[in-house]
Chain A
Amino acid sequence: MYLQGSYSSGRRPTTKSLDWWIIGCYLALIFFGWMNIYASIASEEPSSIFAWSCRSGKQFVWILTSLGLAGIILFLIPPKAYETIAPILYAITVFLLIAVIFVGSDIKGSHSWFKLGPVSFQPAEISKIATSLMLASFMCRGGYRMKGRNFWLTVAIILLPMLIIVAEKETGSALVYIGFIFMLYREGLSGWFIGIIGLAILLFILTITTSPFVSTLILLGCVTFFDMYQGDELKWWIYIGIPVLVGLCFVPAAYKTAVITAVCGIYAVWSGWRAFRNFHHKFRWATLMVLIGGMIMIFSADFIFEKVLKDYQRGRIEVLLGMKDDIVGVGYNVHQSKIAIGSGGFFGKGFCQGTQTAYGFVPEQSTDFIFCTVGEEWGFAGCLFVILLYGLLIWRIIIDSEHSRESFTRIYGYCLAGCLFMHLFINVGMTLGLMPVIGIPLPFMSYGGSSIWAFTIMLFIFVALDRNERKYF
């Protein structure tokens, strides 16, 4: 709708060129988060919401400083500068990420925090911003195509900080980087690529929850389906593929592995022969690779699950997948968090009236599990409100990105939207038991200076970029 304005009207006033929807959502979330932090600690340390001694007081200070930061970004830093300084910022961030492994203080087993006097600071938080800027800066260059060297450099830009963060034992923060895939998709990455990653995750889960047989069957089904579908031979898949797949289900348990391996082998050889005959048919080669890669993954999944993953990670996945019902151990957090949210009902118990919140049944309630307080005290209505606010925010970011003329703004906007979405989905999904327990904050709402500053900076860089585009509409 803004696009319809006249191009010749010159500079528009600041108030008109800012996206007030985004700022409104931001302020609402930050304020609501602050109230819930107060509610989650009020019973334990009854004091004023502004008292510096308690978390809500500190959060108030973080909010004020964040607003200051937002002002600086909007009015002092020229938006054009980001494209230029992005590589420098990225380099500094990577350096800090590595440095923190060696000099950082050990907080709950991960070396990811710098301690500067009373304030702790986590480089992983700002690395999202630096990586997004770097990606935008790299990919907005003229002539960029998502293939060959460019593609692998893009992947490297994402993977470098991600792997360092994994080395810091902050696996949760590293998972957020998966959000960049949405940006890559928007910028032209093949949908098949996302499909294959999705299939890999599905096969991994199926292998550890059921058996390699089941996941191999699924793999075979998917690969043959798409192979035939692509070659317009779907009727053959229906006539031969389905009966074979169904027949495989009735193979006696003792021969299951041998038979299905044999079937896969025969299919692979046949498919390989066909691909060889029609050498330039890329899709055939791709399906063959997926089949072989999938088989290797299925048969190494147990090994990865048992040997590569750490005990606590394995425990969290087992609880999530319902393989273990462990309500006193690993599953305690999730169980308590579900009780807290579930007990909220439609309208909740009211501000500061949550009993689950009050007794400290839910650990980390003001940080990672802040959504529990929302769920318990504000009920389904409150949760709906919060999720709609996030939805609105992300929607606005995507819309603005699409309307921008500069690809830098668009790419950065999609990076931002992807990160916000990943945080939202992992965090809320975790409190609902949809995701494993991964300790990442809920943007703008969770307690913590580091997180709120980082998200404010990240968001307002986008607001500033966006304003820069609108000014002249």
Chain B
Amino acid sequence: MAIRRDTKLLIGLGAFLLLLLGKLFWIQIVDDRYKASADNQAMVYNTIYPSRGIIYDRNGLILVGNRVTYDIIVTPRELAKIQFDTLALAEALNVTPEFIRDRFAYYKKYRSRIGWQEQVFMKHVDPSVYMRFAEIQYRFPGFRGVARSTREYPINAGGNLLGYCSEVNDDFIARHPGEYVPGDYAGRTGIEAAMEQELRGKKGYNIYLRGSNNQIKARYKDGEMDVEAVPGNSVTTCIDAELQNYGQRLMNNKVGALVAIEPGTGEILALVSSPCIDVNCLDDFGSHYSEIMANKYRPMFNRAVAASYPPGSVFKLVNGLIGLQEGVLRPETMYPCHQGYHYGKNKKLGCHSHPSPLNMEQSIMMSCNGYYCYVLKSILDNRKYKKINEAFDKWREYVTSFGFGQKLGSDFPSELAGNIPTSKHYDKVYRKSWNSTTVISLSIGQGEIGCTPLHIANLAATIANRGYYYIPHIVKAGNGLEIDPKYYERHYTMVDTTNFKKIIGGMYKAVNAGPGSGATAWRAAVPGLDICGKTGTAQNPRGDDNSVFICFAPKDNPKIAVAVYVENGGFGATWAVPIASLMVEKYLNGDISRPDMEKEIMNGNLMHKVRPYK
């Protein structure tokens, strides 16, 4: 019975060899995965990149187009045994010999990792340079050029609005599983990012077979399996290219943002953030990246949708409307104001010099601070509500019905929600001991309020519409492109249309009452355009006050609503009023009747007042 030990060992040997053979049998004959993998490695997929979709403005002008450039590709392994003229290559490609030596040193260092893979030697080579290279390409085996379409910008419509495309990084690939591979480009900000799905198109490829000596042998199945690239769809935006460009020029050398909306549709006509990225940097964003990031005014930051600003006096309109709706304010209500509103023990919320007392219309026209302190107080201390919390939450409900304190839901990326405080917030901060005077700054749009220029422009559009807004958006439907039905919906505020009419009278006077009448925005007046507006001067802890203005025109059946926000611009009237007025005139009339004003604004430089970020 006992088996000899050598026999046991031989049986063990046989068992282990069978184990090896079994595994071999499995991976060589049963399992097909490895054969497929090997085929993949033996096939060369020559990617054909699609041209990206074109972006048009509302009038059919091209905002972003395409042009052909070339990437120079090299297979470093093929160069290993070839001596060639570095100087000639450098001259042909218009680079320094050091650049070429550096690249080769890199390939040498990582040769085992690179293996037979192709490497991108140079990117975005101009066609004229490429043609020169192509003539002598035979002298540099291993090199070839690949046509690639890059972006072209006929109109300077602002880098922040349009956005840029760049090669996807690992992080981006991980966030979009299965959609991108290294080497692909994708829109990263602005319209390019918002409409990436439409614009990107579909890649194609030609398949070639490699032989065992690594020469390309043939088209795989005579190109039967090749896939053509599908160009990206073009996108029509609601941007008015000329107006956008004009706004861009007006905001030059100022920090802030400008948003123009067509009130009747919610279409964004212009969206300027300043300082902005120069469109010439967009097509090869990577090489300008460090330069842009080093700019202390942060041009990458799209202030129009992502900056949280205090709205300042333009917010008085909201409080006035709430007061009217709540019945605690009537147009005839008069309140006194002597250099401000006095409350508590010797506390005062200051105001500028103007006649006293004022009625509601005058208070809007002259932008009286004191008046709105009374208004907010009467809203919050309304007997109708048992507690201040209840009254405050009602007030907040009104404010958010205007779109404040939440993302509006625009199709433009990186929109900020902003902030409208809640009664809970004050309960927490003041340990439940607060009243209407504690939050009195809210009456004039200061304090805990944060909103974006887009929110403010939406307020202008809402008033222009007498009580509703369409969600501001940037893309127009058409050419088979559907937009979200929510952009066709009217969003009503909780304030009745009739109350809006009462407010608009004040806004009309603020612009059209003429100089000397106390009207704050008289500089905005353009004969025949019936502009209605409201100035704002918002405190800025980082220097001078911010200059704010919202307006719409014409008064009846408005075509455009504009919000302008200029950081450290001083009074609303100083910078924001003329900029908005010129925008309205440009859009409605096409030409400018006040060239002096236009020149003054375009040449105005406020950068010395703005404290740069570290």
Contacts and interface: CB of A to CB of B under 8 A. Distances in A.
Interface of A: 43, 46, 182, 185-186, 338-346, 349, 352-361, 363, 375-376, 379-380, 383-384, 387, 390-391, 394-395, 398, 401-402, 421, 425, 428-429, 432-434
B331 interface: no
A343 B213 contact: no
Contacts of B10: 395, 398
B25 to A, nearest CB: 6
B41 interface: yes
Contacts of B6: 186, 398, 401-402
Given A355-B38, A356-B41, A359-B116, 13 more contacts: A182-B9, A338-B27, A341-B28, A342-B28, A346-B29, A357-B212, A361-B41, A379-B28, A383-B24, A383-B28, A387-B17, A387-B21, A391-B13
Interface string B190-232: 0000000000000000000011111000000000000000000
B19 interface: yes
A340 to B, nearest CB: 7
Contacts of A384: 21, 24
B23 interface: yes
A358 B77 CA distance: 13
Nearest to B14: A391
Nearest to A428: B20
Interface of B: 5-6, 9-10, 13-14, 16-17, 19-21, 23-25, 27-29, 31, 33-35, 37-39, 41-42, 112, 115-116, 210-214
A447 B28 CA distance: 24
A387 B18 CA distance: 9
B20 A43 contact: no
Given A182-B9, A432-B20, A359 B38 contact: no
B185 to A, nearest CB: 23
A354 B38 CA distance: 10
A341 B115 contact: no
Contacts, number: 112
B80 to A, nearest CB: 9
29 contacts: A43-B213, A185-B9, A338-B27, A339-B34, A341-B34, A342-B27, A342-B31, A342-B33, A343-B37, A343-B38, A344-B28, A345-B35, A355-B38, A355-B41, A355-B211, A356-B42, A358-B212, A359-B116, A359-B210, A379-B28, A380-B28, A387-B24, A394-B13, A395-B10, A402-B6, A429-B20, A433-B23, A434-B19, A434-B23
A375 B13 contact: no
B24 A339 contact: no
B20 A434 contact: yes
A296 to B, nearest CB: 29
A383 B28 CA distance: 10
A349 B212 CA distance: 10
A43 to B, nearest CB: 5
Contact of B212 (A340, A355, A390, A428): A355
B115 A359 contact: yes
B19 A354 contact: no
Given A186-B5, A359-B214, A342 B38 contact: yes
B13 A343 contact: no
Nearest to A46: B213
A285 to B, nearest CB: 25
A67 B243 CA distance: 89
A421 B115 CA distance: 34
